[in-house]
Amino acid sequence: MKIDLHCHTHYSDGTYGPTEVIQRAHAAGVNVLALTDHDTLAGIDEARVAATACDMQLINGVEISCEHTLSGGYGKNKSTNKIVHVLGLDFTDREKMDATLQQLQESRATRGQKITEKLSELLDINYDELWQAVLDKVGGNPQAVGRAHIGQVLFERGEVKTVQKAFDKYLADNKPAYVAIEALTMQHGIELIHACGGKAVLAHPTRYQLSATRVRKLIEEFAQLGGDACELPANSEPVSTRRMVDRSIAEHNLVTSIGSDFHGSNMPWRRLGDVPTLNPEQQGVWQSFKMFA
């Protein structure tokens, strides 16, 4: 059975609609897929229809932006605030989840505008023209705007050589055009997922620009707050990174999750179904999903 528990559609910062994501996952041999758009459930119903037609199992999913202050470190680095992504998987109370996510979505819309305002000043571009180009990327829905969309626009306009360069120069945390997103605390994110009947998974723990010590600390604190699982690093990451995460998962009695974090044509190196393999002693979070009960 091929499982992929992390992917995105154009309802957040992916480039394809839910039906096309499902069809591509099916073509890649995926049997069980979780659609995990950022802070929205908007694509799930369409995806479920497509999954049924393809005889695939679709898991309710979402990727929630959570705020967390990591302790530890020394001197001025004693603590650091981070936006950490927590996947909610296999939840049943969609109404409760949706009500909380709507508030985050409203903050996301204004964030996209604020980032665009900063960029228009930094690059001396007309704001209305730049914002319209960003909106065109998301079908006119400001709540769906993510930094990847803005980076794509900068790349297409020739302001940067690659989308990654847009992040490196302007959009990543603490860069000149960065704007923090309104977020739940990591603890509240985990509690919300549990209250909705789901499993809470720490997404891509090695992608927050943290030292190895702090990655281990993040996994430890996620477990202490009641998190259920940790996503394994992508196959493209070093073996040493995977071993470090494996050790932390075992030490804190978490189960594992696997996902491609597929976004579509804006991140072509992430492919549906391209997920890490569990070690023999590891348990997958999906083993406790309702479909396996």
Q: Where are the domains of the chain?
A: 3-102+181-292
- In angstroms, the CA 288 to CA 293 distance is 7
Find the helix packing angle between 94-123 and 186-195, rounded to 10°.
150
Beta-carbon contacts of residue 55 (< 8 Å; ≥ 6 apart): none
pTM of the model: 0.80
In the prediction, which pLDDT does 119 show? 96
DSSP lists the bridge partners of residue 195 as: none
* Extended strands (E) in the chain: 3-4, 32-34, 57-59, 61-70, 80-89, 184-185, 199-202, 229-231, 255-257
DSSP output for 78-147 = S-EEEEEEEEEES---HHHHHHHHHHHHHHHHHHHHHHHHHHHHHHT--HHHHHHHHHHHTTT-GGG--H
Q: Please give the pLDDT value at position 35.
A: 97
pLDDT, averaged per 10 consecutive residues of the chain (293 residues), comes to 96 93 97 95 97 97 93 62 93 95 81 95 95 92 87 95 94 90 90 98 94 93 97 95 97 97 88 95 96 75
pLDDT given at position 75:
53
Rounded Cα distance between 35 and 24, Å, is 13
For the domain 3-102+181-292, what is the CATH superfamily, name and number?
Metal-dependent hydrolases (3.20.20.140)
Nearest to 104 by CA among 70, 63, 132: 63
